[in-house]
Amino acid sequence: MAADTDIRVGVLALQGDVSEHVRAFEQALSARIGEHHPVVPVRRPMEIEGLDALAIPGGESTTITRLIEKNGLRRPLARFPGGIFATCAGMVLLATAVDDPRVEPLGLVDMRVVRNAFGRQHESFEADIAIEGLDSPFHAVFIRAPVAELVGTGAEILARLNIGAVAVRQSLHLALSFHPELGQDLRLHELFLERL
């Protein structure tokens, strides 16, 4: 476990809300340690070394899968010893199984994920949801969101909606089907950092 001032966080910068994740984690780290703490974009395997945590943003999971392969990141990501904070397509990539054969997940969280479980872009929505570990509901933004339809015994469901789990934690990893980086509520980033 790293001391607070030594925590190094990166954001997988292949596609998606990279700058929003950088901003959110910089704010969460600043609130935690009282000073600015840079968060680094990650595009190559060597940039993962020495990190304590990594965010995998949303985007298009089949495209991110191809870019992970193209940039030689599959093995470094699958063997990453720190915590991974994954949103939307990131949740798909952390799974052990996915409903789409074009996506080869990293197998880091014991769950089966369905891509676009709520429908297409025009069926995106926002909702206040109860999340275990938070004292009040979290305003969540769902954009072509996945859900975990099956969660294994090694993982813990922190939040669910009627069609499946939307927040799942296993070990240091936190997988979310929504986009907390799009709001100002940093409680999930803080919850994640507390376990590092």
Q: What dihedral angle (degrees, nearest 10) is formed by the CA atoms of 134, 121, 114, 152?
A: -10
Residue 181 designated active-site: yes
Tokens matching residue 22: 């950088």
Rounded to the nearest 5°, which phi and psi values hold at 129?
A: -125, 145
Q: How far apart are CA 42 and CA 35, in angstroms?
A: 22
Amino acid identity for residue 196 in this structure: L
- Residue for token digits 């840079």? 38
Orientation angle between helical segments 187-194 and 18-33, nearest 10 degrees:
70
Catalytic-labelled residue, pool 20, 21, 173, 181: 181
Catalytic residue from among 20, 88, 173, 189? 88
Which of the residues are catalytic? 88, 179, 181
